[in-house]
Structure 1
Amino acid sequence: MRSKTLLIFLLLIATPLSLQGSLTYYDFSSSTERRTAEYSAQLVGQINQNLDRTLKEMQHLSIMPMYDPEVLAILRKYSSPTLADRRPSVEELEKMLLHIASGTYDRPEIRGIHIFAGNGFTFSNLDANTIQLFNDPSQQSWYERVHKADGAWTLIPTHQPSYYLERDPQDYFSVARLIREPNTNRTLGLIKIDLKLDVFRGILSNVKFEDKGSLVAVNSRTELFFLENGPGLPPDRYEELASAAALPNESTVRRMELGGKSFLTISDYSDYSDIKIVRFIPLESLLKETNALRTKTMLIGIVCLVLGGGLATYFSYRLNRPLAALKNKMKLVELGNFKQSVQVETGDEIGQLSHNFNRMVEEIDQLVEEVYVIGLREKEAELIALQRQINPHFIYNTLESIHMLAVQGQSERVSDMVTALGRMLRYTVGHECQLVQLREELETAEAYVSIQQLRYGDRLQILFDIEPELLPHEVPKLIIQPMIENAIYHGIGDYDGGKTIWVHAVRFEDCLLLTVRDDGRGMSEAELASLRQSLNRPVAVASTAEQRRDGHGVALRNISQRLALMYGHAYELHVDASLGAGTAFTITIPLPLKEVVQKGRH
């Protein structure tokens, strides 16, 4: 209750603070992200426009040779591959250099303009110490792209040309096209303009982004033209950046996960150059100010929660202290301790509840004492009644045996049986306690056996196998004799041959095992199942006719019922039998035995 009250107070404080902080953070971050996206989209679009302007100038330079008759004449002269290794004259070199140099004037972004003749000779604005004079463009990786363009200009992504004699090869991107005869459309050569990456750097130097991020320039094939790694991204992430830049060929703004971090991506696509400029802005740096605001809001919220939590703890303690005391007393009452009372400190609802609790516990304590005494008396009476049920049943069977001997004229044996019967009656009637020593129970069983041996003579052999240390232990009264009786009447009965009954008492772990076993006719599976089922049926359920037909079943049920009353689930009465192989009854009871209700000892 105290924790719930404290939780309610804290929720009342935390909920409005959380809502206010969340809404403020969301509005501010959304506004920042939207403003940055709009501004960055304009800048990225401007970058692409400036790049298109530069590429259009390069495209114009690439077409100029086809409008210069002298250039065409020289290329026409050296267009045949059969003229390999043939150098142009000095005059021809000067004319070509003059034409090429006019295109590179005041253009530091151009690394070189190269015109490849058909025989492999390369006319260039660079000298022989910088570039190879003879080259076969068809062996270059970029040639297939130029050839497929079929005379149109094409843009070659970043690469390292093999014709440069540089010790440290640099990356360039190029504008190239085939040079063809205007009239016959015959290919005379190829022009290639290599551009430095300073083209992009120069454009970017004129663009001022508000935030720090990365920029990638790729074409529709995701081929790289330029990469500027910003903070938040480690180097050598071209493949990941290029894959992330594979956005639709249109201007878009979206969020993206890259390298385990979130980025805002702004892209702009040029239909003219087929180049897509993508700006990657780390949300972490973009929302730096927003996160600072969030941190301040959280600190204020934590301070308010601490203050509110202290007040809530104090008031919840004052409110829940009497309830906690009442709850502890209730737990003790639940465990059966009814001698409890709660101190009433106030006159409010909690005080009234405590007063009513004290009165209720007092009344329950009185009722429990009354019910407990009544229950003990009822249990004692039930045990005595069950025990006494054995007496008339046993007397009936014994008198029947005496009657049979009297009819046969065996008066001495009748006298012995009557004497033994009297001794047994004194034991069964004179003892109203439920527990006796195992020694006493065995003496009574031996007296009963002597009666039966007078009747059956040598046909009946009974063997006792008892561990001596078990003799002082207490066992329920009259549990061995009924099992011996059952073994005699239903194991031997009118069978003419001799039979043996074994009585065993052993200790197994903390239990006492009493077994009565015979080698009589046994039982079929159906009879065994019926007997096992009947052991779970109360004795009172059986009718008088059933008891006459199944007297041994009544006795065994009587034993089972008495053991259940005395030991609950701690006992076991097991029957095992097979037809022609005898029957065994085993009782398992705990050691040391539990205290039970009894009327004294003799």
Structure 2
Amino acid sequence: MPVRPKNPGYLPIGYKLMFTFMIFIIIPVLVIGYVSHAMYQDSIRKQTTSNIQGTLLQIKDNIEYKLEDVTRVSGMLYYDYSLATQLRSYREGWESFERTTKYIMPKLNIALNATGMNLWMSIFLENDTLPEVYNGSFDNENPDALERSYGLYHLKRIEDKPWYLSFPVENYGHTMQWKQVERDGDFDRISLLRRMVDSFDPVRLKEIGFMRLSVRISELFQSADYHKIGEGSVITILDEKDTVMYQSGVLSSELLHQNESESHYLTIEENLNNPSWKLVAYIPTNIMEKDSLKVRMFVIAVCFLCLVVFTFAGVFISRYFSIRINKFVSVLNAFREGDLHKRISYRGKDEFSQIATALNEMGENIGDLIKEVYLTQLQKKEAELETLQSQINPHFLYNTLSSINRLAKFGETEKVQQTVLELAKFYRLTLNEGRTMIPVPTEIEQANAYLEIQKIKYGDRMEVMFDVDPDIWPYETMKLVLQPFIENVMKHAWCADRIHIRIVGQRDGDDILFRIIDDGIGMKQERIDQIFDFEGHVNAGYGIRNVDQRIKLQYGAGYGVSIYSKLGIGTSVQIRIPARRRK
């Protein structure tokens, strides 16, 4: 394509843009100022974050130590094999009381005194021969008044408690749960829940008791003090469901609406190992921003000045280019909507004039090309459809003439005459003045004409039932979509000396479904795959594949033939076409 010569007054758009960019030469200065300010703030933020993370790690270690201390107390009872031996002994009377006072209660005292924390321990025993030992009321407990004490209860007291029923399945040595139960919430406490099991057989663990160790939340999280981080900070401890269990510091209105003003607080998280709680610290960023206030004010002033300049310049430049670009957009939109006749009338001596000329020529060329391709594809489709349809008639005619020949050979004159009449009727309906599309009733009548020919041959050995919904009578279909499948049944589906065929026609939404169902020998899925394999098995299922291709050429890939079959039961062929009314 020859290069167009430049006009004497041609001014490239690059020069226009260059003059525009010169106006905004101050932008690099603003960028440098912003980057410097951001780097300064980022350095302060990183240093502060590092210091706070170190403090949070110390708080985390202290909390985990106290959690492990309570877990260790529960482990003293959990892993005590001799204690388990006493708890699974069911001897009553004086021996049971003596075992409780001289062996079990000392064990509980030892475990309770093994920590410096103020715990309240409740042990629920499955062995109801052991006496209950407790202070206060079980139903109206007051944990604060019972610290560094314990109670022995029977397990049946908590058998219907939701927190006991929902306790996880036992995994030896690992199953435990921190949870607020009973009146823990009223006294700001939390309990460690854990089973007591008979470890004689670790594979088949038997529950012999249940322990609950209650501790004050303030004592457990005593080290989580916001003063260690700084004024205005907040430290919270969240459980597995992100519910606040403990909080040190006051939540400000900004922190409560953090999604709206998230930049005002720095959030640092640390995960506790066991249980899966989170230690979250919120630090006001204004502590870090005091030193950078002057830089920020300078940047804001420069940005405001640039905003004023950019606004006026942007309006002018935008108006200058948008008028021209909108012309091209309107033409492109017209092309996208199929209107290839719209053209651009542009006067100028720059790139816009060249684009306008090229776009006009492109619209004209695309229109001619689309018209040429459309006509070519339409002719090809019509030729393929006509070829596929023409292959049906010789195939059926050959089979029918062979049947007539056999009848004539055996002297069945009346059957020969009747067969010829039905054959003539079939071809009268098939020719249909050369039309490809026929009414649904005509297609049903064609199929019935073919079946009448077959009934002459097979007699009472075949039974046929038509189940056609009258709602599909007003619609049209391609001709010869049913007969090839009925012929396939008569040729391949016989299982013994009788066969039943059911022909169904019905509406399915915006489609029409035909089904040809038989109770013949059926076929394997491998055989069905071969039928629809257009390249690997050309000769397999030629008639079926022919109908499927015709339907897809006429209506599209979403329509066609599908086969469902099972050996020894039968086959169901489904033909789907769109529901289109006759013209």
If the length of structure 2 is used for normalisation, what is the TM-score?
0.51
Residue range with higher mean Cα deviation, 322-331 or 403-412: 322-331
Corresponding position: 1:581 with 2:573: no
Corresponding position: 1:380 with 2:368: no
| Residue matched to 1:522 | 522
| Residue matched to 1:590 | 578
CA–CA separation in structure 2 for the residues paired with 1:26 and 1:415: 102
CA–CA separation in structure 2 for the residues paired with 1:352 and 1:448: 68
CA–CA separation in structure 2 for the residues paired with 1:389 and 1:8: 72
Map Cα deviations across residues 261-320 of structure 1 (whole Å, 9 max, x no partner).
689xxxxxxxxxxxxxxxxxx7766x4xx7346424522331223212321332243134
State how 1:446-525 maps to structure 2 within 5 Å.
446-492=448-494, 497-523=497-523, 525=524
Aligned amino acid, residue 504 of structure 1: V
- The answer to whether the 8 A contact 1:465-1:503 is kept is yes
- The answer to whether the 8 A contact 1:25-1:293 is kept is no
Aligned amino acid, residue 341 of structure 2: K
CA–CA separation in structure 2 for the residues paired with 1:518 and 1:584: 7
Map Cα deviations across residues 482-540 of structure 1 (whole Å, 9 max, x no partner).
11111111123xx66222211011222332211111122222x2xx42233322417xx
CA–CA separation in structure 1 for the residues paired with 2:409 and 2:477: 38
| Residue matched to 1:173 | none
Q: 1:261 to 1:430 in 2, by over 3 A?
A: closer
Aligned amino acid, residue 510 of structure 1: D
Q: 1:459 to 1:348 in 2, by over 3 A?
A: same
| Structure with bigger gyration radius | 1
Q: 1:490 to 1:317 in 2, by over 3 A?
A: same
Corresponding position: 1:16 with 2:29: yes
* Partner SS, residue 583 of structure 1: strand
Aligned amino acid, residue 579 of structure 2: L
State how 1:120-159 maps to structure 2 within 5 Å.
none
Please point out which of 541, 558, 564 is paired with 2:546: 558
Residue range with higher mean Cα deviation, 340-349 or 435-444: 340-349
CA–CA separation in structure 2 for the residues paired with 1:483 and 1:446: 13
CA–CA separation in structure 2 for the residues paired with 1:259 and 1:453: 89
Deviation at residue 411 of structure 1 after TM alignment: 1.5
If the length of structure 1 is used for normalisation, what is the TM-score?
0.50
- The answer to whether the 8 A contact 2:476-2:579 is kept is no
CA–CA separation in structure 1 for the residues paired with 2:386 and 2:432: 12
CA–CA separation in structure 1 for the residues paired with 2:232 and 2:426: 103
Please point out which of 299, 302, 314 is paired with 1:300: 302
Aligned amino acid, residue 464 of structure 2: I
- The answer to whether the 8 A contact 2:530-2:537 is kept is no
Residue range with higher mean Cα deviation, 329-338 or 433-442: 329-338
Q: 1:542 to 1:532 in 2, by over 3 A?
A: closer
- The answer to whether the 8 A contact 2:232-2:283 is kept is no
Deviation at residue 366 of structure 1 after TM alignment: 1.6
CA–CA separation in structure 2 for the residues paired with 1:336 and 1:374: 19
CA–CA separation in structure 2 for the residues paired with 1:441 and 1:381: 22
CA–CA separation in structure 2 for the residues paired with 1:26 and 1:520: 82
Q: 1:22 to 1:485 in 2, by over 3 A?
A: closer
Deviation at residue 555 of structure 1 after TM alignment: 0.8
Aligned amino acid, residue 378 of structure 2: L
Q: 1:234 to 1:563 in 2, by over 3 A?
A: closer
State how 1:171-320 maps to structure 2 within 5 Å.
260=283, 287=291, 291-292=293-294, 294-320=296-322
CA–CA separation in structure 2 for the residues paired with 1:297 and 1:396: 93
Please point out which of 555, 559, 562 is paired with 1:571: 559
RMSD of aligned alpha carbons: 3.7
Map Cα deviations across residues 328-372 of structure 1 (whole Å, 9 max, x no partner).
432442444323322323232111111111111112112211221
CA–CA separation in structure 1 for the residues paired with 2:39 and 2:397: 96
Q: 1:12 to 1:590 in 2, by over 3 A?
A: farther
Residue range with higher mean Cα deviation, 402-411 or 581-590: 581-590
Q: 1:490 to 1:361 in 2, by over 3 A?
A: same
- The answer to whether the 8 A contact 1:515-1:587 is kept is yes
CA–CA separation in structure 1 for the residues paired with 2:492 and 2:485: 10
CA–CA separation in structure 1 for the residues paired with 2:508 and 2:339: 36
| Residue matched to 1:534 | 531
CA–CA separation in structure 2 for the residues paired with 1:21 and 1:579: 77
Percent of aligned positions that are identical: 30
- The answer to whether the 8 A contact 1:13-1:305 is kept is no
Map Cα deviations across residues 381-423 of structure 1 (whole Å, 9 max, x no partner).
2111111110100011111111111111112211221222122
Q: 1:16 to 1:472 in 2, by over 3 A?
A: same
| Residue matched to 2:423 | 421
- The answer to whether the 8 A contact 1:13-1:308 is kept is no
| Residue matched to 1:330 | 332
Q: 1:9 to 1:453 in 2, by over 3 A?
A: farther
| Residue matched to 2:358 | 356
CA–CA separation in structure 1 for the residues paired with 2:321 and 2:37: 36
Deviation at residue 15 of structure 1 after TM alignment: 2.3
* Partner SS, residue 546 of structure 2: helix
* Partner SS, residue 574 of structure 1: strand
| Residue matched to 1:369 | 371
State how 1:425-440 maps to structure 2 within 5 Å.
425-440=427-442
Aligned amino acid, residue 498 of structure 1: R
* Partner SS, residue 521 of structure 1: coil
Aligned amino acid, residue 518 of structure 1: D
- The answer to whether the 8 A contact 1:521-1:581 is kept is yes
| Residue matched to 1:345 | 347
Aligned amino acid, residue 15 of structure 1: P
Deviation at residue 22 of structure 1 after TM alignment: 6.6
Identify unmatched segments of 5+ residues in structure 1: 31-228, 241-256, 264-281, 596-600
CA–CA separation in structure 2 for the residues paired with 1:370 and 1:510: 33
* Partner SS, residue 569 of structure 1: coil
Map Cα deviations across residues 417-446 of structure 1 (whole Å, 9 max, x no partner).
122212222333344333211100011111
- The answer to whether the 8 A contact 1:10-1:309 is kept is no
Identify unmatched segments of 5+ residues in structure 2: 1-12, 44-226, 234-247, 249-267, 269-280
